[in-house]
A and B are shown apart, each in its own frame.
Chain A
Amino acid sequence: MLGESSARPHRDRGDGRALPTYPMITFLIRRLATTIFLLIVVSIITFGIFFLIPRLAGQNSYELAAQYVGRNPTRSAILQMEAKLGFNEPLVVQYWNFLKGIVFGAHYNDGPSQTYCPPPCFGYSFRSQQPVWPQMVAALPITVSIAIGAAILWLVGGVAVGVLSALRRGSIFDRFSMGAALAGVSLPIFFTGLISLELFSYKWSLFPNVQFVAFTANPLLWARNLVLPWITLAITYAALYARLTRAGMLETMNEDFIRTARAKGLPERTVVLRHGLRAALTPILTIFGMDLGLLLGGAVIVENTFSMPGLGQFTILAIQNQDFPEIQGVVMLAAFFIVVANMLVDVLYAVVDPRVRAS
């Protein structure tokens, strides 16, 4: 028996279930390698968009550099910028420097002096002449606050409504909530957001003076001011998740293993939650990861509606100002969130569904 247990790589968690350890670790390593590869691909594409495509369109390095200098630049200023940003070097070297800047930081030669841009360096903003990264870092907590809070709301709310609808298929509750879900999906955020601002903030003053307050500064105020953005954003997603959960639960509750669970004499609550929902939740997790990853790159409309200077606002401003380094940085960051969210979902999938680990 000893030989048997040592031959099988199990680690007992003491609750009658075990985690096969080795397949999980190889799975993690494999998935991590894919993620890094994906990030490199993203960096190549981003680099291509900002440095290669202008060349292919006929711009030379001088004209490219001209866009990085202020209005009505002198020829020497442009040449200096061209040398500083290394536009006259071979493309491979330029890409390498771009990567190196992100990972190790970059040294810019300003002629007499050198400026050091600490990692991850996405260059200097045209607008503020400041490194891009700290600006994004400043905007990030706002977007994260909005996205995570809303995500918890819509996941819990959507799944709960979906489960109840599925269990009471055809009931008044089911019809009402699915109707509301359809409305929720259809209503744009800039509409519901403005309505809620008008009613709850201006008219009834339930949430007066909505603006972002750092969590560290005042957690209560932070939460109070975020209630409206959270609900506005969550409604759209919750509607979708309710419909998805309902469909998934209807399918799962017809599975043979649900009949087995009932045949064991389990209480209906256990049958629904432990056996039904657990299986129905897996595909929803996938979409949840993608949605959250996407949102973290900037909750553009909500941030705009509620005037919260998060990554979404940052992006809009960067585009309006044609601020290449800023756009570049935000694209890389958004891509990073999506790729990492996808990886986490895959890992979570393997934790949830033991069959994934084997394949």
Chain B
Amino acid sequence: MAMLEVHDLHVQFKTDDGLVKAVDGLSFSLDRGRTLGIVGESGSGKSVTSLSIMGLSRGSGTEITGQILLDGEDLVSAKPERVRQLRGSKMAMIFQDPLSALHPYYTVGFQITEAYRVHNKVSRQVARKRAVDLLGRVGIPHPAGRVDDYPHQFSGGMRQRAMIAMALSCDPELLIADEPTTALDVTVQAQILDLIVDLQAEFGSAVVIITHDLGVVAEIADEVLVMYAGRVAEAGTATDLFTQPGHPYTWGLLGSMPRLDAARIERLRPIPGTPPSLINVPAGCPFHPRCTYQAQATGGRCDADIPELREITLGHRVACHLSRGKQQEIWLRLQAPGELAESPVPTEPVAPADPVDLAEPVVPVESAAQAETGE
């Protein structure tokens, strides 16, 4: 049995504007020692998925159905108290902005020992030794001297290291990292990713890394889940995704990623349009209003039928009406030099999405989710 299995997960928030379908029928599984990257724009449901696994998206207006099996135990139907016991011990989470995610009034050491002591009946001294040890292992120099520092006395990278130390305090079997490098300098980003890779090798835990940065995925993920409007657009190994992507949205993500090996004259190709509102998800394929390859799909069903997730090669699944042949043909054409610049432009004028920084909140789903969990 896989460490983490998600079956047909639906997460919906009741808001004043209507029902937000943040996650709409998501399924995936993850084995021990493997790293899954969940990729997508803001509002694609990736953060809500991770918070739902942690049991942190529960709230008065939240409805969760489906199954989240952690080592065979269903977290959706489990009692909140049971999920709380698992949080921080069997599964742990690292957040995006370590400055706001750490409590400003407590020392780093206290916040780590707090996480450790809530699940382990040990004395303060033992927990403190553990905190110093953990800080050392995540690469904080002179951990014994820094354990009593406050978060504001740490640099950004050190804070994220402290967050990681806190998450690892109880040797979790599942580690979820929600955009762990987004708030950090580029040089520090690589260090933090290396650290996660090293620690995973050491602890053997399963890692879910949520990101909008395909560079992060390329660096550490074994498997990738591309999410769009709360659904899986494409899933497969990282190699599948980068060498033979089959979904137009994945092509768009890859095309909007700056590459050093490509010629400078090539311009980034942003995906036209903006992610859909999760209250009024377009009928049919949710991506179809932004998709430039609809005409090539057989039967013109894109605006009517929701495409099923089809396995195109072993373990590589794509939710698109384009035939496999067409997918391969278009991807090959996209990779040909010169072809990229004149990729088809949609007829109706749409505001281009920001190509690099997809973290701009376009749909208020993430804030709605936070408001719910904050209740």
Binding site for B on A (CB under 8 A): 1, 4-5, 7-8, 10, 12, 14-18, 169, 253-268, 270, 275, 278-279, 352-355, 358
B371 and A263 contact, CB distance less than 8 A: no
In whole angstroms, what is the CA distance A258 to B104 when docked?
11
Q: Please, which residues of chain B bring their CB within 8 A of the CB of A278?
A: 105
Q: Residue B285 at the A interface, CB < 8 A?
A: no
Q: Please, which residues of chain B bring their CB within 8 A of the CB of A258?
A: 374
In whole angstroms, what is the CA distance A15 to B86 when docked?
26
Q: Please, which residues of chain B bring their CB within 8 A of the CB of A266?
A: 84, 88, 114-115, 118
Residue B144 contacts which of A5, A15, A267, A354 (CB distance < 8 angstroms)?
A5
Q: List 7 A-B contacts (CB under 8 A).
A: A7-B145, A16-B124, A17-B107, A257-B101, A260-B95, A264-B87, A270-B118
B104 and A353 contact, CB distance less than 8 A: yes
In whole angstroms, what is the CA distance A255 to B101 when docked?
8
B142 and A1 contact, CB distance less than 8 A: yes
A10 and B374 contact, CB distance less than 8 A: no
Residue B88 contacts which of A7, A15, A264 (CB distance < 8 angstroms)?
A264
A256 and B100 contact, CB distance less than 8 A: yes
Interface string of B108-145 (1 = CB under 8 A from A): 01100111001100001001100100000000001011
Residue A8 contacts which of B87, B89, B105, B145 (CB distance < 8 angstroms)?
B145
Q: Please, which residues of chain B bring their CB within 8 A of the CB of A1?
A: 142, 144-145
**Of A7, A266, A353, most B-chain CB atoms within 10 Å:** A266
- Number of residues on chain B facing chain A (CB within 8 A): 46
A17 and B56 contact, CB distance less than 8 A: no
A257 and B100 contact, CB distance less than 8 A: yes
Q: Please, which residues of chain A bring their CB within 8 A of the CB of B142?
A: 1, 4
> Which single residue of chain A is at the shortest CB-CB distance from B371?
A254
> Which single residue of chain B is at the shortest CB-CB distance from A278?
B105
A17 and B145 contact, CB distance less than 8 A: no
Interface string of B126-168 (1 = CB under 8 A from A): 0110010000000000101101101011000000000100100
In whole angstroms, what is the CA distance A253 to B372 when docked?
11
B166 and A16 contact, CB distance less than 8 A: no
Q: Residue B97 at the A interface, CB < 8 A?
A: yes
B374 and A254 contact, CB distance less than 8 A: yes
A260 and B110 contact, CB distance less than 8 A: no
Q: How many A-B residue pairs have CB under 8 A?
A: 115
Considering the complex of A and B, which 10 residue pairs feature the smallest CB-CB distances, nearest first? A265-B88, A18-B148, A265-B87, A256-B100, A254-B374, A264-B115, A264-B88, A4-B145, A257-B103, A256-B101
In whole angstroms, what is the CA distance A169 to B150 when docked?
32
Task: List 8 additional A-B contacts (Cβ < 8 Å) besides A265-B88, A267-B118.
Answer: A10-B148, A16-B113, A259-B370, A259-B374, A263-B87, A263-B92, A264-B87, A265-B119
Q: Please, which residues of chain B bring their CB within 8 A of the CB of A255?
A: 100
Residue A264 contacts which of B127, B150, B166 (CB distance < 8 angstroms)?
B166
Residue B87 contacts which of A257, A262, A353, A355 (CB distance < 8 angstroms)?
A262
Q: Please, which residues of chain B bring their CB within 8 A of the CB of A264?
A: 87-88, 92, 114-115, 118, 166
Q: Residue B302 at the A interface, CB < 8 A?
A: no
In whole angstroms, what is the CA distance A355 to B153 when docked?
9
Interface set, chain B 148-194, CB cutoff 8 A to A: 148, 150, 152-153, 163, 166
Q: Residue B85 at the A interface, CB < 8 A?
A: yes
Q: Please, which residues of chain A bring their CB within 8 A of the CB of B124?
A: 14-16
Q: Please, which residues of chain A bring their CB within 8 A of the CB of B370?
A: 254, 259
Q: Residue B203 at the A interface, CB < 8 A?
A: no
Q: Residue B210 at the A interface, CB < 8 A?
A: no
In whole angstroms, what is the CA distance A354 to B56 when docked?
29
Give the shortest distance, in Å, between A246 (CB) and chain B (any CB): 14
> Which single residue of chain A is at the shortest CB-CB distance from B109?
A16
Residue B148 contacts which of A12, A256, A270 (CB distance < 8 angstroms)?
A12
Q: Please, which residues of chain B bring their CB within 8 A of the CB of A14?
A: 124
Give the shortest distance, in Å, between B373 (CB) and chain A (any CB): 6
Give the shortest distance, in Å, between A167 (CB) and chain B (any CB): 8
B105 and A259 contact, CB distance less than 8 A: no
> Which single residue of chain A is at the shortest CB-CB distance from B100?
A256
